[in-house]
Chain A
Amino acid sequence: MTDLLAGLLIVIGTFFLAVGSIGLIRFPDVLCRMQATTKTTTLGACTIFLAAALKFGYSPIALKSILALWFLLLTAPAGAHMIARAAYRGRVPLATHRMVADDLKEVVERSAYLSEHNIDL
């Protein structure tokens, strides 16, 4: 039963890791690629860690595996947030012809204007 569940988790994790990498290759700009990789890769790796914890049962390996899972869940959103912020504010070329809405644009332009003219609100 445990082996069956671990096998199912491995299949799910492998699927998500493969989908994330295909999205990383296929998508047009950096924000889309990040959308494809960060979530699916975190989910895929976490399910594989969970499968390892299930397979080895009550042991130090399971503990370390759960620790790695917890750390990945904690750090992956922070890293993705930093990259997205750096990419947008660093004016990386985006696929604007496919973009539907860009609400951050006026905020960034406004803060750039204010800091350029030394206006302190």
Chain B
Amino acid sequence: MSLLLHGALLVVACSTVLCLYRIVMGPSVPDRIVAFDAFSTNLAAVVVLLVMRDGLVELIDVVLVLTILGFVGTMAIAKYIKKGDIVD
């Protein structure tokens, strides 16, 4: 189980870094938002795997905050590029 968690953590961390590549290089703003969405979800998965591997049970609150902030950020930027105004 510990070895499996190590391997899973490695793979998920590598895929998070791949998302960072698209955030930096993405040709348009929606590309970057898609990558940011995937990035925040991957990060939540990384934190859950850390909780399971090391038993850091306090970090499970981080997962909730990451999920909510990822959603709010995605919605805010999507609304911004659609109308040029976040609050309307």
Task: Write the residues of chain A forming the contact surface with B, with a CB cutoff of 8 angstroms.
Answer: 3, 6-7, 10-11, 13-14, 17-18, 20-22, 24-25, 30, 33-34, 37-38, 41-42, 44-45, 48-49, 51-52, 55, 60-61, 64-65, 67-68, 71-72, 75-76, 78-80, 82-83, 85-87, 89-90, 92-93
Contact = CB atoms under 8 A, between A and B. Distances in A.
A52 B63 CA distance: 12
A113 B4 CA distance: 57
25 contacts: A7-B4, A10-B49, A14-B8, A21-B18, A24-B19, A24-B34, A25-B18, A25-B21, A25-B22, A37-B35, A38-B34, A41-B37, A45-B48, A51-B52, A52-B48, A52-B60, A64-B63, A68-B64, A72-B67, A78-B75, A79-B37, A86-B81, A86-B82, A87-B28, A92-B30
Contacts of A90: 29-30, 81-82
Contacts, number: 156
B52 A92 contact: no
Ranked nearest first, the 7 interchain pairs of A and B with the lowest CB-CB distance are: A21-B15, A87-B30, A82-B78, A21-B18, A75-B71, A79-B74, A37-B38
Chain B interface main SS type: helix
Given A30-B31, A48-B45, A75-B67, A22 B18 contact: yes
A82 B5 contact: no
Interface of B: 1, 4-5, 7-8, 11-12, 14-16, 18-19, 21-22, 27-31, 33-35, 37-38, 41-42, 44-45, 48-49, 51-52, 57, 60-61, 63-64, 67-68, 71, 74-75, 78-79, 81-82
Contacts of B34: 24, 30, 33-34, 37-38, 83
Nearest to A91: B28
Contacts of A92: 28-31
